[in-house]
C-alpha cells in the first residue's frame, strides 16, 4: 500500500518536517505490542468483525501506526453491518484534520468518532436499505484505547486486576436515561402486548419495536434511534491489559468477570475460542456469538530490565469504573489518598450524550484546528452563507448565532433536528447533493 518510491535530494523544509513528525510518534514508553485472536459461531450470519493493524496517523509513516478492532452485530439483515464495516473507519479518519501531533490526534478522536458514526448512518439510510447494526469500535494507539459504541455489544478491559467497561449498553431495558431521551424525542417505549394486555419481552421503542436506543441504520425505525456513539478513552499503565470485545451472543450468557476468568492464562486466540464455546455451551447457539481478545503489552514489559512486579491477585476488587473525572487536581487528590502507585489506568475522556451540539462543540485544546467552513459531520465544504450552527434551534431561528461553530450542512442539520425529535427527516431522499 505504501508508495514511497521517490528518491533524489530532499528539500530542507521537508527534512525538518520529517524530523518534527518523528517527535509526534508514539513515545518510547507508550509503545505497545498487540497480540490478538478472534472466534465466532454464527447462527444468523449478521455478526461481522473488522481488524486492521496497519493503520497510519501520518500517511506512509509506519511508525505512526495504530490498530482497529471492531464488532458489528446486524439485525433485520446484514446490510447495515457490512456497510458500517466497509465505511466507518474512513468516515472517522476523514473527520480528523491532517498535520496533528499524536496528542492532538488522540484528542480529536472522540469528536471524529461522533462525526464518522453519524455520517455512516446518514449515508447508509440514503441508500434506502433496511437493517441496522450495533457497533463497538476500538482504536488502539500505543497505550491509549479509544472506544466508540452504539448498541449492546461490549468492550471490557482488564488491567491491574480490575475490570473497566469501555462501552455503553444501549438496550432500553438497561438504560433509563436512553428511555427518557427516546420518549422526549417522540418515541414510545413499552413491551409487546399479547392478548389480554399482558406485556412480554424486553422494553422496545415504537414505531419499529427495536430493543436498542442507538444503532447504525434502522431506517424503518424512528429517528430517535440515533447513531451517536458513547465514547471512552483510557490510557493504560505500564502493565498493559487485556481487551475482550464480544457481541451480545456472549454477554447474554457470560458476565465480564466470567469471560476474563475463562480466558485466564490462555493466548488471545485460545481465549476467544474458549469464551465463545463457554457462551454457546450454556444456552446452545441461539444468536451469532463473536469474540475478539487483544493483549496490549507495553514494549518495556517485553524486555524487562528489572524483574516484573508480582501480579496482583483478587479479581473481585473493582475500582469505581472511572466515576472519578479527571480534573487538574485529580493527580494530587490521588496522592492524597494512600495511593502510592500513580501508574494505573487513566480515564482521558468519556461522553455519551446523544446531543450533537454537545458532542461536536469541542472544548479540546485543538478547537481552532477544525476547519470552520466544513460540515462537522459529512465534511462537505460549506459556502459562508450555507452553514448552520450546530447550536441553531429551528424553533428559535431568529436567535441563530451564526459565528458559533461548528457548522453543519443543511442535510446534516435536518438529520440533527430529526434525531432530537424537532422535525421529520425525509429518509430515502433521492437528492444526491450533500
Ligand atoms: Zn453535512
Residue 54 pLDDT > 50: yes
Ligand 1 center to 123 CA (angstroms): 10
Ligand 1 center to 186 CA (angstroms): 24
Ligand 1 center to 77 CA (angstroms): 27
Mark whether 55 and 99 lie in a shared domain: yes
Mark whether 348 and 383 lie in a shared domain: no
- Is residue 209 classed as helix, strand or coil in its secondary structure? coil
Query: Could you read off the pLDDT of 89-112 as tens digits, one per residue?
Result: 999 999 998 888 999 999 999 999
Query: Could you read off the pLDDT of 238-253 as tens digits, one per residue?
Result: 999 999 999 999 999 9
Ligand 1 center to 118 CA (angstroms): 10
Ligand 1 center to 171 CA (angstroms): 28
- The neighbour count for residue 254, using CB atoms within 10 Å, is 22
Ligand 1 center to 421 CA (angstroms): 18
Residue 232 pLDDT > 50: yes
3-class DSSP string for 228-268: CCEEEEEECCCCCEEEEEECHHHHCCCCHHHHHHHHCCCCH
Mark whether 330 and 400 lie in a shared domain: no
Residue 365 lies in a domain: no
Mark whether 296 and 391 lie in a shared domain: no
Lookup: cell for 77: 439483515
Ligand 1 center to 23 CA (angstroms): 34
Ligand 1 center to 396 CA (angstroms): 21
Residue 217 makes CB contacts below 8 A (sequence gap 6+) with 79, 80, 83, 84, 121, 124, 125, 129, 130, 131, 132, 133
Q: Confirm if 375 and 407 have CB atoms less than 8 A apart.
A: yes
Number of alpha carbons in the 13 Å side-chain half-sphere of residue 39: 18
Mark whether 239 and 377 lie in a shared domain: no
Ligand 1 center to 39 CA (angstroms): 37
Ligand 1 center to 109 CA (angstroms): 18
Ligand 1 center to 100 CA (angstroms): 23
In angstroms, the first-to-last Cα distance of the chain is 30
Say whether the peptide bond before residue 206 is cis (omega within 30 degrees of 0): no
Identify the band that residue 11 occupies on the pLDDT scale cut at 50, 70 and 90: low
- Mean pLDDT on 214-225: 93
Q: How many domains does the chain have?
A: 2
- Mean pLDDT on 48-69: 94
Mark whether 253 and 154 lie in a shared domain: yes
Residue 33 lies in a domain: yes
CA dihedral 365, 369, 373, 374 (to 10 degrees): -90
pTM comes to 0.83
Query: Could you read off the pLDDT of 149-177 as tens digits, one per residue?
Result: 999 999 999 999 999 999 999 999 999 99
Mark whether 277 and 419 lie in a shared domain: no
In this prediction, residue 16 carries a pLDDT of 52
Ligand 1 center to 382 CA (angstroms): 9
Range of the domain at 383: 371-426
Ligand 1 center to 115 CA (angstroms): 9
State how beta strands 32-41 and 289-298 pair.
Answer: antiparallel
Residue 142 pLDDT > 70: yes
8-17, 35-44, 75-84, 262-271, range with the lowest pLDDT: 8-17
In this structure, is the dihedral angle defined by the CA atoms of residues 385, 386, 391 and 397, taken in order, positive or negative?
A: positive
Mark whether 386 and 349 lie in a shared domain: no
For the chain, state the CA radius of gyration. 22
- Mean pLDDT on 293-298: 96
Residue 196 lies in a domain: no
Ligand 1 center to 208 CA (angstroms): 26
Q: Confirm if 157 and 234 have CB atoms less than 8 A apart.
A: yes
Helices (H), 23-158: 79-93, 102-126
Mark whether 410 and 339 lie in a shared domain: no
Identify the band that residue 400 occupies on the pLDDT scale cut at 50, 70 and 90: very low
Ligand 1 center to 135 CA (angstroms): 21
Quick one: what percent of the chain has pLDDT higher than 70?
Answer: 77
Q: Please, is 322 exposed, middle or buried when counting C-beta atoms within 10 Å of its C-beta (0-12, 13-18, 19+)? A: middle
Ligand 1 center to 259 CA (angstroms): 41
Ligand 1 center to 356 CA (angstroms): 13
Ligand 1 center to 411 CA (angstroms): 6
Residue appearing with cell numbers 518495556: 300
Residue 49 pLDDT > 90: yes
In this structure, is the dihedral angle defined by the CA atoms of residues 109, 114, 119 and 125, taken in order, positive or negative?
A: positive
Ligand 1 center to 375 CA (angstroms): 5
Which residues on neighbouring strands pair with residue 111, listed in sequence order? none
Identify the band that residue 9 occupies on the pLDDT scale cut at 50, 70 and 90: low
Lookup: cell for 317: 476488587
Residue 94 lies in a domain: yes
Residue 179 lies in a domain: no
Q: Confirm if 406 and 360 have CB atoms less than 8 A apart.
A: yes
Residue 67 lies in a domain: yes
* CATH for 223: 3.60.40.10
Q: Which of 66, 183, 125, 178 is nearest to 426 (CA)?
A: 125
Ligand 1 center to 167 CA (angstroms): 26
Residue 163 lies in a domain: yes
DSSP string, 29-62: GG-EEEEEEEEEE-SSS-EEEEEEEEEESSTT-G
Q: Confirm if 208 and 225 have CB atoms less than 8 A apart.
A: yes
CA 62 vs CA 50, 66, 118: distances in Å: 20, 9, 29
Residue 197 pLDDT > 80: no
Amino acid at each position: 500500500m505504501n508508495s514511497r518510491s521517490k528518491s533524489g535530494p530532499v528539500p530542507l523544509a521537508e527534512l525538518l518536517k520529517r524530523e518534527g513528525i518523528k517527535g509526534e510518534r508514539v513515545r518510547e514508553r507508550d509503545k505497545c505490542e498487540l497480540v490478538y485472536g478472534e472466534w465466532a459461531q454464527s447462527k444468523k450470519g449478521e455478526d461481522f468483525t473488522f481488524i486492521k493493524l496497519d493503520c497510519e496517523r501520518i500517511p506512509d509513516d509506519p511508525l505512526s501506526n495504530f490498530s482497529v478492532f471492531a464488532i458489528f452485530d446486524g439485525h433485520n439483515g446484514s446490510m447495515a453491518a457490512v456497510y458500517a464495516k466497509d465505511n466507518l473507519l474512513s468516515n472517522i479518519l476523514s473527520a480528523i484534520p491532517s498535520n496533528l501531533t499524536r496528542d492532538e490526534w488522540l484528542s480529536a478522536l472522540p469528536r471524529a468518532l461522533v462525526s464518522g458514526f453519524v455520517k455512516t448512518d446518514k449515508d447508509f439510510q440514503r441508500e434506502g436499505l433496511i437493517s441496522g447494526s450495533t457497533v463497538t469500535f476500538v482504536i488502539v494507539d500505543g497505550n491509549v484505547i479509544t472506544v466508540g459504541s452504539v448498541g449492546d455489544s461490549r468492550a471490557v478491559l482488564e488491567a491491574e486486576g480490575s475490570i473497566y467497561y469501555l462501552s455503553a449498553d444501549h438496550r432500553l431495558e438497561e438504560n433509563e436515561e436512553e428511555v427518557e431521551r427516546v420518549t422526549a424525542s417522540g418515541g414510545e417505549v413499552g413491551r409487546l402486548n399479547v392478548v389480554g394486555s399482558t406485556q412480554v419481552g424486553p422494553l422496545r421503542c415504537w414505531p419499529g419495536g427495536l430493543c436498542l436506543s442507538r444503532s447504525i441504520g434502522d431506517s424503518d425505525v424512528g429517528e430517535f434511534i440515533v447513531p451517536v456513539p458513547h465514547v471512552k478513552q483510557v490510557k493504560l499503565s505500564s502493565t498493559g491489559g487485556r481487551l475482550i470485545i464480544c457481541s451480545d451472543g456472549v454477554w447474554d450468557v457470560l458476565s465480564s468477570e466470567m469471560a476474563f476468568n475463562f480466558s485466564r492464562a490462555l493466548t488471545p486466540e485460545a481465549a476467544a475460542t474458549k469464551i465463545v464455546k463457554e457462551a454457546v455451551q450454556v444456552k446452545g447457539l441461539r444468536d451469532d456469538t463473536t469474540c475478539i481478545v487483544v493483549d496490549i503489552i507495553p514494549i518495556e514489559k517485553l524486555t524487562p530490565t528489572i524483574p516484573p512486579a508480582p501480579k496482583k491477585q483478587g479479581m473481585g476488587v473493582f475500582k469505581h469504573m472511572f466515576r472519578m473525572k479527571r480534573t487538574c487536581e485529580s493527580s494530587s487528590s490521588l496522592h492524597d489518598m494512600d495511593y502510592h502507585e500513580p501508574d494505573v489506568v487513566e480515564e482521558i475522556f468519556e461522553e455519551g450524550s446523544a446531543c450533537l451540539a454537545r458532542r461536536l462543540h469541542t472544548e479540546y485544546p485543538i478547537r481552532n484546528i477544525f476547519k470552520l467552513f466544513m460540515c462537522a459531520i459529512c465534511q462537505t465544504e460549506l459556502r459562508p452563507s450555507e452553514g448552520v450552527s450546530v447550536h441553531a434551534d429551528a424553533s428559535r431561528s431568529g436567535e441563530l448565532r451564526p459565528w458559533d461553530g461548528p457548522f453543519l450542512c443543511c442535510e446534516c442539520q435536518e438529520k440533527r433536528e430529526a434525531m432530537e425529535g424537532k422535525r421529520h427527516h425525509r429518509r430515502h431522499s433521492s437528492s444526491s447533493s450533500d
